[in-house]
Amino acid sequence: HAEDELSRSSHSNPSKSLVNGIKTSPASNSPKSSLSVPMGPPVYVDLAYIPNHCSGKNTDPEFFKRVRASYYVVSGNDAANGEPSRVVLDALLEGKSQWGENLQVTLIPTHDTEVTREWYQQTHEKQQELNIMVLASSSTVVMQDESFPACKIEF
């Protein structure tokens, strides 16, 4: 009886999986495949947390084209798993370059990593062109007469 239930639950919907919360078929298990995501206007937010610790598995330029934030938090600190991913940081540049408006964007890394340091140095000119500011790990935020390290932002 338990085997039957396990068999049914594992086979109840074998052809569907989720990528970024969107049902896909097994052939499109990558965020870079053509997903049937309805096009719509971009969403503007004050603060966005880059998904999955800035892993390249779930975030691509389309995310940055559609989710336009004044502040993006990069929380990755696991080089062995590619977090943060240089591909995602480059996707920010690519996505922002297609906004058509030069709004200020601030990137808040929660950890000082080799990937973010190298990306910052190698793309600094492009960041300036796109009006992207990257906070250093020693940056301080002042809110309501209280100051604290920028990497300590919690929500």
pLDDT at 84: 87
Assigned token pair, 126: 């492009």
Give the whole-angstrom CA distance, residue 74 versus residue 83. Answer: 9
Cβ contacts of 155 within 8 Å, gap of 6 or more: 47, 49
Residue-wise pLDDT tens digits, 7-37: 444 444 444 444 444 444 444 444 444 445 5
CB 59 within 8 A of CB 31: yes
- Beta-sheet pairing, 43-49 with 67-74: parallel
* In the chain, % of residues over pLDDT 70: 66
pLDDT band at residue 97, thresholds of 50, 70 and 90?
very high
pLDDT at 110: 84
